[in-house]
Amino acid sequence: MEDLILFLGHFHVLALHLPIGILAFVAIAELYFGFKPNAERPALVNTIWLLGAVSAVIAAGLGYLLSLSGGYNEDTLELHLIWGLITSATALIGWVAFGIKGRRGKGWAITIGGIQLVALFTAGHLGGNLTHGPEYLFEHAPNPIRSLAGFEPKSAPRTPVSDLAQADVFLDVVQPLLELRCVTCHNPSKIKGGLLLDTYANIMLGGDSGAAVTPGNLSASELSVRINHDPAHDDYMPSGGKTPFTAAQTQVMDWWILAVAPESGTLSDLGVDTDTLDLIAAAIEVEVTVSHLDELGLPIVTAASRDVIMKLESLGFDATPVSEKSGYLDIDFYRIGQESISDEHIAALLQARDHIAWLNLGNSGLQDHQIETIAQLSNLLKLDLSKNPVTDTGIIPLRSLPNLQTLNLHATKITDDALPTLDKLPNLEQAFLWSTAVTTEASTTRPYARIETGFIVVPAEDDESNE
């Protein structure tokens, strides 16, 4: 029964638009005819009042059912329900007064039509506050108008990031991602799951399901667990078909948690390395200079053809240039639902084999036999195969990638037997091996191995001495 109530309640967001349009129209029409006594008032107006009243009652009823799901600011919710009832009652009064009793004149028009418009506006405004936060309507209003509405003046926006190394880890990286993907459902007016994600302090308080962030521990951090679920999972976040985190954004959130979730500090002060800066730049869409493409002497290539880019994008790949001045591509595969990457997807990559420098196939359902095709992308510098069932035998073809610098194998099925394969990659600088069967003992002598702190780390200071 509870599921049925919530199912019906969710139709509120569809039903509410009907009475808004009908009642706004008929209230304005009634005001017009009230001030124009000589104008002929069509009998159809009476029917429109009835339709508006019925649709308002239905929308109010569905809204009440939706409110039973919880997670809303109680004071705002109560006011929204009251004004919803006022809207419905006014519509019924309008139908009776104008349609049945035949009341006419300015007084009736101003009283009923005016109250109807005020009730519609107020109920709609409070509903917007419940869904989008208390400042939704006045978020972009000038400060004088905000002050009149009772809101604090807007503070000056943060200066856009120009030097990523000087960006604040929380204010410029983490908080914008949360505001983009999470805060619409986890704000003071809509506290889904008892969780607020609008400030650092509230993030650390957690919610009904436990700790949103446990610094240094992904498995104990509900935020990480839920954004890393398969999109088809019931607990996947963000829910309700909202735009999900991109692969880069998910990895940045995990990196922040693994870095003990610092509240402040520039990326430079935190010692973030170049690869991590590149990932953060992709996540928050900030352009950074990519200078290391020329260090290995990769051949200069012209930009890939538009047909090739469109083919890749039609198959679910995101293909973007690694920099404005380079013909090389950064390719990401976004898994849709439970669909795994197919042989057709992998074969399509060969159309851009000379252009692909970065390739992210993490959590794509990649199989061992498909790595043979990937190994033909000879200009690969960075490759992400994380969270796939690939094995020691499957990665052997990667030995043919002479330029590969970074390889992400975390949460795969590899063991210590994979290390001889990695040893044969002449330019490998980092291999992320956490959550695999690779042991600390076997990896100790491999300066590229990263098995403890996650897939984005600051290389140890003594790496050079181990080479």
pLDDT, tens digit (0-9, with 9 covering 90-100), for 382-421 = 999 999 999 999 999 999 999 899 999 999 999 999 999 9
Q: Is residue 357 part of a domain?
A: yes
**Domains: count for the chain:** 3
* Residues 335, 421 within the same domain: yes
Q: Is residue 154 part of a domain?
A: no
CATH code for the domain of 334: 3.80.10.10
For the segment 284-319, what is each residue's pLDDT rounded down to a tens digit?
A: 876 544 334 444 456 667 778 888 888 888 888 888
Higher pLDDT, 188 or 300: 188
CA–CA dist 351, 383 (Å, integer): 18
Q: Is residue 392 part of a domain?
A: yes
pTM over the 0.85 mark: no
pLDDT score recorded for residue 22: 94
- Closest listed residue to residue 71, CA positions, set 208, 205, 180: 208
pLDDT exceeds 60 at position 3: yes
Which residues neighbour 195 within 8 Å (Cβ) at sequence distance 6 or greater?
A: 186, 206, 207, 208, 209, 212
What is the domain extent for residue 176?
164-258
* Residues 100, 214 within the same domain: no
In whole angstroms, how far apart are CA 181 and each of 178, 199, 209, 313? 5, 14, 19, 23
* Residues 310, 420 within the same domain: yes
Q: Is residue 393 part of a domain?
A: yes
* Residues 348, 200 within the same domain: no
pLDDT score recorded for residue 133: 64
* Residues 199, 327 within the same domain: no
Band of pLDDT at residue 458, cut at 50, 70 and 90:
very low
Q: Can you read off the two tokens belonging to residue 211? A: 């700790």
Q: Can you read off the two tokens belonging to residue 330? A: 């950064």
* Residues 295, 389 within the same domain: yes
* Residues 222, 364 within the same domain: no
* Residues 233, 127 within the same domain: no
| Mean pLDDT, residues 367-385 taken together | 94
Q: Is residue 348 part of a domain?
A: yes
For the segment 58-82, what is each residue's pLDDT rounded down to a tens digit?
A: 999 988 888 877 666 677 788 889 9
* Residues 394, 455 within the same domain: yes
Q: Which of 113, 148, 183 is the last residue of a domain?
A: 148
Q: Is residue 64 part of a domain?
A: yes
Tell me the β-bridge partners of 408: 384, 432
Q: Which of 124, 148, 172 is the last residue of a domain?
A: 148
Q: Is residue 281 part of a domain?
A: no
Q: Which of 148, 183, 199 is the last residue of a domain?
A: 148
* Residues 182, 135 within the same domain: no
Band of pLDDT at residue 136, cut at 50, 70 and 90:
low
- Closest listed residue to residue 424, CA positions, set 459, 394, 450, 400: 400
Q: Is residue 70 part of a domain?
A: yes
pLDDT score recorded for residue 132: 67
CA–CA dist 414, 435 (Å, integer): 10
pLDDT score recorded for residue 306: 83
pLDDT score recorded for residue 466: 35
pLDDT score recorded for residue 465: 35
* Residues 333, 239 within the same domain: no
Q: What is the mean pLDDT of the chain?
A: 83
> Above pLDDT 90, what percent of the chain?
39
In whole angstroms, how far apart are CA 461 and each of 109, 114, 444, 465? 79, 72, 15, 9
* Residues 233, 341 within the same domain: no
| Mean pLDDT, residues 131-143 taken together | 69
Kindly report the length of the chain: 467
